[in-house]
Structure 1
Amino acid sequence: MLMAMVPPAAIRNKWGVIIPSTNIMVEHDLAMLCPSGVTFHAGRAYISKPSMASDADAEALLDQMDASFDVALRDVLTLTPDRIVIAMSAEVMRRGVRGGAEFVDAVAQKAGLPVTTGPAAVIAALQRIGATRIAVLTPYQPESDRLTSQYMRECGFDVVHVEGLRRTSATDIAETTPGQVIAGLRALAAHRPDALVVVGTNLSAVKLAAEAEHWLGLPTVAMNAATVWHALRESGITDRRADAGFLLRDF
């Protein structure tokens, strides 16, 4: 008897994921968090000069992503995904809430698909738990921190503190040590927010954020975990897991 033809991955949902070419951690985190049958496929926005050593360098890096975004999107559309995931946090937030929404709407129209972004996922997560006072850990330089804070405030949150790790290049973000992340989370908690937020898709903090919820007693939103949670739930997939923080465990 011939068996029914089923895709090798028993595909439930396919995501085209747009990431900077320098990003190391998004694919790692998605592989860890996506349930069976949910596949992700990266298109990389080319960055030739990854320096973030100054505000000017950081802005130039984002401009490089802008210039190559459409090619990365073109590439992932050839696999006929069900959803586009934009795993570029600063690139969305620097535009502000209105500009970020216009950017995402333009991508959705071009792709003809729903879109999830890290910033929108974080906002949805904070709204889901009713947090209003937040503290934010970033890998950025001061100007990008300012734009991150401004974006969160435009979304209605009281940003009580931003702790910037001042990484000097896009690739250095992935080399942030667990000790640096832990120290940053402790610095945030000292400001007594309702929730902690870790932004930057190359700053992998999924496991540390989940652990921090226990030793700091505060909900901790790691952007990559929030992105997976949002994309799954918006796709009608309700799988949960107990080892990646409150979002994927409880909601």
Structure 2
Amino acid sequence: METPVLDYGSRGRIGLLLPSVNQAAEPQIRAMLPRDVGIAVTRLKLVDSSELGLLSMTHDVEAAAALLADAGVDLVVFHCTAVSTYSAELEASILERIGVATGLPATATSQSLVAALDAMRARRVVLLSPYTEEVNKRETAYFVRRGFDVLGNVGLNCSTGREMMAVTPEAWQAFALSQVQTEAEAYVLSCTTVRTAEAIESLECSLGSPVITSNSAVAWDCMRRLGISAVVPGYGRLLGHVAGH
């Protein structure tokens, strides 16, 4: 009988801080990484996208990040788009707190999205999300502050994770195709707990532009930060690039 060969992260280990309600990030990011890149996950309480709910996710950042450090990760990611784009000041505070608590490099979904758009040389972008108008306004302000021209930001007005997960990949595809902007250089499907991974390649064929999701941006950016060179097919142009370069 042949002995199974397992890899526990020989090329690097990524620690993810996820909203407690998230059902999509783990399977998607696992699929978007080579088998020899490991992930460890800890959750922070978040069940809806109200302002109070979003800000409460930051309360236990230090303790949660320290648990990931115990697992021997090389990098900690605060992986929630709505919280990390709440404001540049909150983003900076979260990353500083993680660094102090763990002594490890830290990043956030917001930074990964910016890096991914830069890699695609996209400044004029369309943001599509499951969020409410209030969350979308803050997200738009964040990307404008980072130097992007946001041509549109439309949400599906979902407020809970279960509502977000109920939107099918086919519905995301139809939604994106209804929001075409001829000047767009990239489309961002925002949020970590949505079923957008399956729609990336089909949308890129239809739109003729890069399509980046919160999860594909983080998978790509983590490999880049860890110096891991890999091409992962099936999830669009971004992961079709050699991430470590």
User: Is this contact kept in 2: 1:160–1:191, CA < 8 A?
Assistant: no
Please name the residue that 2:143 is paired with.
152
Query: Which residue of the other structure, out of 80, 83, 88, is the alignment partner of 1:88?
Result: 80
Q: Which residue of 2 aligns with 1:3?
A: none
Q: In structure 2, which of residues 68, 89, 98 is the aligned counterpart of residue 76 of structure 1?
A: 68
**Any idea what SS the aligned residue of 2:179 has?**
helix
CA RMSD of aligned residues (A): 1.8
TM-score by length of 2: 0.90
Residue 8 of structure 1, CA deviation: 5.0
Is the CA contact (8 Å cut-off) linking 2:140 and 2:153 kept in structure 1?
yes
SS in structure 2 at match of 1:90: helix
Q: 1:7 to 1:250 in 2, by over 3 A?
A: closer
Aligned-pair CA distance for 1:10: 5.6
1:233 match: 224
State TM-score, norm by structure 1: 0.88
CA displacement 1:93-112 (0-9 Å, x = unmatched) = 11x22441232133223211
Question: Deviation digits for residues 46-77 of structure 1, max 9, x if unmatched?
Answer: 23xx244xxxxx11211331223333223222
Segment of structure 1 superposing worse, 153-162 or 238-247: 238-247
Letter in 1 for 2:217: A
Determine the structure 2 residue equivalent to 1:25.
24
CA distance, structure 2, for counterparts of residue 140 and residue 46 of structure 1: 18
| Local SS of the residue matching 2:152 | strand
1:116 deviates by 2.7
1:121 aligns with 2:109: no
CA contact (8 A) 1:135 1:191 kept: no
Report which stretch shifted further, 9-18 or 233-242.
Answer: 9-18
Query: Could you tell me how far apart the structure 2 residues matched to 1:132 and 1:8 are?
Result: 38
Contact 1:242–1:248 at 8 Å: present in 2 too? yes
Superposition pairs of residues 122-141 of structure 1, within 5 angstroms? 122-141=113-132
Which whole-Å CA distance do the structure 2 matches of 1:26 and 1:220 have between them?
Answer: 17
Deviations 1:115-144 (A, max 9, x none): 232111111111122211111011111110
Q: Which 10-residue stretch deviates more, 84-93 or 72-81? A: 72-81
One-letter amino acid matched to 2:29: L
Match of 2:99 in 1: 108
Structure with greater proportional helix content: 1
Measure how far apart 1:191 and its partner are. 5.3
Secondary structure at 1:40 match in 2: strand
Q: Which residue, out of 150, 153, 160, partners 1:162?
A: 153
Q: Distance in 2 between matches of 1:28 and 1:72?
A: 20
Q: How far has the Cα of 1:186 moved from its partner? A: 1.3
Residue 175 of structure 2: SS of its match in structure 1? helix
1:248 counterpart = 2:239: yes
Tell me what 2:214 maps to: 223
In structure 2, runs of 5+ residues without a counterpart are: none
Moved more, 150-159 or 216-225: 216-225
The residue type equivalent to 2:105 in the other structure is P
Task: For 2:9 and 2:124, locate their aligned partners in 1 and report how far apart those are by CA, in whole Å.
Answer: 42
Query: Map of 1:156-235 to 2, 5 A cutoff?
Result: 156-190=147-181, 192-235=183-226
Decide which moves more: 14-23 or 166-175.
Answer: 166-175
CA contact (8 A) 1:206 1:245 kept: no
1-side partners of 2:62 and 2:93: how far apart? 15
Higher mean C-alpha displacement, 65-74 vs 124-133: 65-74
Count of aligned pairs between the two proteins: 238
| Structure 1: unaligned runs, 5 residues or longer | 1-5, 53-57
